[in-house]
Structure formats: structure tokens, C-alpha cells
């Protein structure tokens, strides 16, 4: 087995969002609102909703990367007409069930918001918990153009990013461990190779998790955004 150097913005064939086993654990992590591991903690989520209510128009909202509907459901309860888009079929299925239980009319769609149509006629679009920073620069431009075309005149786009300097706090590493199974990554005994790598020129850090028993390679990247990077061509 040959492992090449991790490259900036490198993607893997497998995804934590679509893998049948890992996506189940990702959903569980999203629904744990006592910490900030996969979703913001409940106090931060509620403060974010309050800020949105005070600073954005009431009307039709698009929640990009909506996950299990943590923000979409709260906005729907406040009177917004909500469309939620996420690439994870498992998260969308949960969100639909939860909306039905709470009698909320939310249009949840399992889509890739980079490749697929996201609709139009929105008064507001949101992309929360740094989804934007996990995109390549080209993907960021594609998404911004889609959002621009999908918003009504005077519509707003609300998103968050990792602050400048965060890359400096991320510890670069290469490590491995053995698991008897039934952990986050695999239900069977396996070796896990882990890597965190900095890319200073891109102000980026990448992670690689290789599950040897299952033959899965999982790559993710996250970008910190400052004022210089934020000045993108429209």
C-alpha cells in the first residue's frame, strides 16, 4: 500500500457524509448539542437564531448544508419558509422525520449544492458552521454565484468562517492506532492512520484518515478566511 503526500484541497473517493456507517455516527455527533464537535452547542445555536431574527428579513430562506435541520427547524418555528439542502441522505431523512413529528413544513432536499440546482426566490441564504471554508476556492466562487442568482433583490447571505490564525493552533501530526471495532470510523477491527497537515500559502489545514481494514481513504480540508481572502471576484 503506497501513501502519497497529502495535497492542498485533496479529496477522497469516500466521504464521511455519504458512507453508510460513518454517516450514522456523524448524525449522532450532529445531534449532540452539548459540545461544538460536529454542530454548535445549543446555546450558540439559539444565539445565532436570535441574531438572524434581528438582522435579516422574514420570508423564504435557504439553509445550505442543513444537516439534520437544527437551524431550519428553529427558523420554521419562527415563521420562515425554509428549504434545506444537504448531501447526506441520512441527515436529510432524519430532518424529514423530525419535521413531520413537529408538524413543520420544511422542504428538505438531498443534493450537492455545488453540482445541483439550489432554486431561486430566496430572501435569505445561510451556510453555518464553516461549510464555506471546507470548499475549494473554485467551489466557493461557484456557490457564491449560485446564491447571488438565487436571492431576491435585497436578499442576504449569512455564513461563518474560521478566524484568521486558527491554522497556527492546529497541531500537525501523523499517527496511527488499532481498534477492535465499533468506533467512529469502522464497525470491524481496523488500523486507523491519521494525518493533519498545514498549507501556509493557502491558509489551510487538511486531514486524512485511512481505515486500513475497510480500505477507505477520507480527506477533508478547512480554510481560515481573512479580509484578503474574502475579497473574491464576483
What are the residue ranges of helices labelled H in the chain? Answer: 20-30, 42-55, 70-77, 89-101, 137-150, 166-169, 227-230
| Per-residue pLDDT at 3 | 64
Q: Distance between CA atoms of 97 and 99, rounded to whole angstroms?
A: 5
* Model confidence pLDDT, tens digit, residues 89-115: 999 999 999 999 999 999 999 999 999
Nearest CA to 49 among 37, 61, 32?
A: 61
* 231 class by beta-carbon count within 10 Å (0-12 exposed, 13-18 middle, 19+ buried): exposed
Mean pLDDT by 10 residues, the chain (234 residues): 76 89 96 94 97 92 98 97 98 98 98 98 95 92 98 96 76 90 90 90 87 68 52 45
pTM of the model: 0.88
Distance between first and last Cα of the chain: 43
**Cβ-contact 87, 62 below 8 angstroms:** no
Query: HSE of 34 in the Cβ direction (CA atoms, 13 Å)?
Result: 2
Nearest CA to 26 among 157, 148, 144, 184?
A: 184
* Model confidence pLDDT, tens digit, residues 182-214: 899 999 999 999 999 988 888 888 888 889 885
**Cβ-contact 110, 47 below 8 angstroms:** no
Percent of the chain with pLDDT over 70: 90
Amino acid at each position: 500500500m503506497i501513501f502519497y503526500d497529502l495535497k492542498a484541497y485533496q479529496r477522497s473517493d469516500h466521504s464521511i457524509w455519504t458512507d453508510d456507517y460513518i454517516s450514522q455516527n456523524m448524525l449522532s455527533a450532529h445531534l449532540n448539542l452539548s459540545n461544538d464537535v460536529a454542530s454548535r452547542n445549543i446555546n450558540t445555536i439559539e444565539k445565532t437564531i436570535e441574531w438572524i431574527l434581528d438582522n435579516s428579513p422574514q420570508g423564504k430562506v435557504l439553509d445550505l448544508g442543513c444537516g439534520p435541520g437544527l437551524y431550519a427547524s428553529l427558523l420554521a418555528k419562527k415563521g420562515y419558509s425554509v428549504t434545506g439542502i444537504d448531501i447526506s441522505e441520512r441527515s436529510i431523512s432524519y430532518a424529514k422525520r423530525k419535521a413531520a413529528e413537529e408538524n413543520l413544513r420544511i422542504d428538505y432536499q438531498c443534493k450537492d449544492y455545488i453540482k445541483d440546482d439550489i432554486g431561486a426566490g430566496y430572501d435569505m441564504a445561510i451556510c453555518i458552521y464553516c461549510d464555506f471554508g471546507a470548499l475549494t476556492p473554485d467551489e466557493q466562487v461557484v456557490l457564491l454565484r449560485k446564491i447571488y442568482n438565487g436571492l431576491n433583490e435585497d436578499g442576504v447571505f449569512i455564513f461563518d468562517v474560521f478566524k484568521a490564525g486558527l491554522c497556527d493552533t492546529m497541531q500537525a501530526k501523523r499517527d496511527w492506532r488499532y481498534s477492535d471495532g465499533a468506533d467512529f470510523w469502522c464497525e470491524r477491527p481496523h488500523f486507523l492512520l491519521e494525518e493533519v497537515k498545514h498549507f501556509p500559502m493557502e491558509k489551510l489545514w487538511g486531514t486524512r484518515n485511512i481505515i486500513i481494514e475497510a480500505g477507505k481513504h477520507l480527506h477533508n480540508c478547512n480554510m481560515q478566511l481573512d479580509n484578503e481572502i474574502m475579497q473574491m471576484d464576483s
